[in-house]
């Protein structure tokens, strides 16, 4: 019962394995009577093809791995959701790999210890330097997500962080805010993502003739609402005052809302806040969050397109695709 093989079906149906295989794989040139004969044998025995054997024979696994730091972070969870959907539509299954943002785990992702596990990898690094990624083994197709400076040899999908940060900052400037802070970048080992967003923030302030006050650039211990809230609390207790806040991500923004509220500061009246990622919770915070919304569906589709091309044998230089974004204007920083 447990182990019905292709051969068993062939025996029962009185045909060869090849014929059964043709039926199983919906190969068109099989006569109807042969097909039904085989099909009833399959049904009778409860045959199911063995995935491992098929994979060994074809060399394709039908699996992709999706690697990033932590599915517990809403942005990644929502990204995983959409990538999983699209992968399923394309006939792939998705393997989930969490790196917790450690260099060690990230290394394990790019230097696959096993061959033939997955057909391709979608990877959003948090720590790994570009040069190291470049040395990754060529044999498993790889697409990078996120804003790190990807090596030339590897495909990459990203959004224009700097441009979006400029828009976000300009939005606050247009509201008449002049003491605009930045919240939530890593304290040490700044990720490229944070750097780019910070850069955009600075460019926008410079362009508006507003000088950057370094005391308003508030790092957070980790990418979590709690750490961001703590950081804002300390800044406020420290006497620092701002009327606008560009946040590295929505979690930071949510932490900020909390800390500002505790200090009796109103959002957006006293401090206007812009988040980043447009996680689904952003519409339900109080006040709801104005936030930079990356086109996640596009990110997923582009990554999968490129990955499938690589799987199909394409071996040109790495392609770097920029996907769009928009600023979702909500209560925390309303339209001016």
Partner DNA sequence: TTGAAAGCGCTAACAA
Partner DNA sequence: TTGTTAGCGCTTTCAA
- Does residue 211 touch DNA according to CB under 7 A? no
Burial of residue 57, with CB atoms counted within 10 A of its CB: 0-12 exposed, 13-18 middle, 19 or more buried? exposed
CB of 64 to DNA, least distance (A): 19
Q: Is 26 in the site for DNA (CB under 7 A)?
A: no
Site for DNA in 105-124 (CB under 7 A): 116
43 binds a second copy (CB under 8 A): no
Q: Residues 229 to 268: which contact a second copy by CB under 8 A?
A: 229, 254-255, 257-258, 261
The yes or no reply on residue 334 touching a second copy (CB under 8 A) is no
Q: For 73, phi and psi rounded to 5 degrees?
A: -80, 130
Neighbours of 26 (CB within 10 A): 8
Binder of a second copy out of 16, 52, 326, 336 (CB under 8 A): 52
18 part of the interface to DNA, by CB under 7 A: yes
Q: How far is the CB of 94 from DNA (least distance, A)?
A: 21
Q: How far apart are CA 228 and CA 248, in angstroms?
A: 10
Residues 106-165 that bind a second copy (CB under 8 A): 112-117, 137-139
Q: How many CA atoms lie within 13 A of 75 on its CB side?
A: 24
Please measure the distance between the N-terminal and C-terminal CA atoms of the chain and give it in whole angstroms.
70
* Residue 157, H or E segment: strand 155-159
Q: Are 225 and 259 in contact (CB under 8 A)?
A: no
Task: Say which DSSP state 210 is in.
Answer: P
Residues 172 and 253: their CA atoms lie apart, in Å, by: 14
Instruction: Choose between 165 and 224: whose C-beta lies nearer to a second copy.
Output: 224
User: Based on CB atoms, which residue is closest to DNA, 9 or 273?
Assistant: 9
Cβ proximity to a second copy, 3 vs 31, nearer residue: 3
CB of 11 to a second copy, least distance (A): 18
Told to check if 196 binds DNA by CB under 7 A, we report no
Answer yes or no whether residue 16 interacts with DNA by CB under 7 A. Answer: yes
Q: Is 313 helix (H, G, I), strand (E, B) or coil?
A: coil
The binder of a second copy chosen from 217, 281, 297, 322 (CB under 8 A): 281
Partners of 204 in the β-ladder:
none
- Told to check if 91 binds a second copy by CB under 8 A, we report no
Spatial contact of 267 and 257, defined as CB atoms under 8 Å apart: yes
Taking CB under 8 A as the criterion, the residue among 8, 11, 39, 70 binding a second copy is 70
Neighbours of 34 (CB within 10 A): 15
How many angstroms separate the CA atoms of 119 and 180, rounded? 46
In whole angstroms, the minimum distance from the beta carbon of 254 to a second copy comes to 5
Cβ atoms of 141 and 292 within 8 Å: the answer is: no
Q: Look at residue 78 and give the partner it binds from DNA, a second copy, none, a contact being a CB closer than 5 to 8 Å depending on partner kind.
A: a second copy
Residue 281: φ, ψ to 5°: -65, -20
| Token pair for 238 | 């420290």
Single residue of 12, 42, 44, 56 touching DNA by CB under 7 A: 56
Where do contacts with a second copy occur on this chain (CB under 8 A)?
1-3, 46, 48-53, 55-56, 59, 61, 63, 66, 70-72, 74, 76-78, 80-81, 84-85, 88, 93-98, 112-117, 137-139, 224-226, 229, 254-255, 257-258, 261, 280-281, 283-286
């Amino acid at each position: 019962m447990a182990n019905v093989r292709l051969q068993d079906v062939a025996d029962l149906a009185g045909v060869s394995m090849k014929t059964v295989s043709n039926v199983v794989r919906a190969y068109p040139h099989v006569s109807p009577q042969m097909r039904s004969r085989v099909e009833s044998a399959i049904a009778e025995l409860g045959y199911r093809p063995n995935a491992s054997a098929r994979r060994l024979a074809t060399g394709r696994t039908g699996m992709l791995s999706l690697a990033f730091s932590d599915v517990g972070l809403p942005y990644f969870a929502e990204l995983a959701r959409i990538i999983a959907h699209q992968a399923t539509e394309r006939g792939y299954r998705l393997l989930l790999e969490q790196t917790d943002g450690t260099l060690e785990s990230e290394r394990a992702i790019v230097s696959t210890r096993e061959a033939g596990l997955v057909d391709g990898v979608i990877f959003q690094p948090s720590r790994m330097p570009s040069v190291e990624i470049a040395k990754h083994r060529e044999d498993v197709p790889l697409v990078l997500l996120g804003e790190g400076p990807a090596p030339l040899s590897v495909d990459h999908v990203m959004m224009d962080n700097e441009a979006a940060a400029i828009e976000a900052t300009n939005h606050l400037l247009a509201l008449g805010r002049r003491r605009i802070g930045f919240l939530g970048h890593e304290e040490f080992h700044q990720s490229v993502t944070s750097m780019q967003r910070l850069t955009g923030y600075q460019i926008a302030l410079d362009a508006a003739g507003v000088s950057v006050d370094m005391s308003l650039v508030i790092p957070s211990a980790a990418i979590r609402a709690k750490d961001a809230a703590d950081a804002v609390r300390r800044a406020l207790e420290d006497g620092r005052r701002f009327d606008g806040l560009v946040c590295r991500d929505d979690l930071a923004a949510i932490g900020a809302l909390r800390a500002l509220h505790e200090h009796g500061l109103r959002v957006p009246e006293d401090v206007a806040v812009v988040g980043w990622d447009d996680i689904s919770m952003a519409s339900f915070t109080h006040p709801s969050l104005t936030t930079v919304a990356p086109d996640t569906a596009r990110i997923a589709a582009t990554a999968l397109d490129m990955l499938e091309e690589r799987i199909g044998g394409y071996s040109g230089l790495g392609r770097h695709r920029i996907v769009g974004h928009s600023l979702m204007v909500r209560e925390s920083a309303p339209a001016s």
